[in-house]
Amino acid sequence: MKEEDQKIKGIIGKIFQKEDKLSRVYNNFSIDQIWRDTFGNVISNYTTSVKYYKGTLTVYISSAPLRQELDMSKDSVVKKLNAALKYKKVEKLVIR
């Protein structure tokens, strides 16, 4: 291979870094998967939706006590998610 050749993964990553509709759908899907992998089955069972848009992650939780617990520990939740994310970073977390 030539030095100019790039790996497919790198090229696809650059495409999905943009803020177009395709990348938003992909990012929402991948962030949803990362949320469920990072926080396990118990929290995932109470998670109804995860949405990411321009640095803000909105997570919908069906359990009020769990929602309160996550709201109090937002900083550690954001740190865990940012450690697992490759391209996008969570700047603000909204728990609903």
Report how many domains make up the chain: 1
Q: How many CB atoms lie within 10 A of CB 81?
A: 22
* pLDDT bracket for residue 8 (50, 70, 90): confident
- Give the structural domain span for 69: 8-95
pLDDT 10s digits, 42-77: 999 999 999 988 889 999 999 999 999 999 999 999
| Residue 2 counted as domain residue | no
Q: Does the residue 3 lie in any domain?
A: no
Asked whether residue 75 is domain-assigned, the answer is: yes
Look up the CATH number of the domain holding residue 27.
3.30.300.20
Q: What is the pTM of this model?
A: 0.73
Is residue 51 included in any domain, yes or no?
yes
| DSSP H helix total and E strand total for the chain | 4, 3
Rounding to the nearest 10 degrees, give the CA dihedral for residues 40, 76, 72, 88: -80
3-state secondary structure of 41: helix
In a domain, 1, yes or no: no
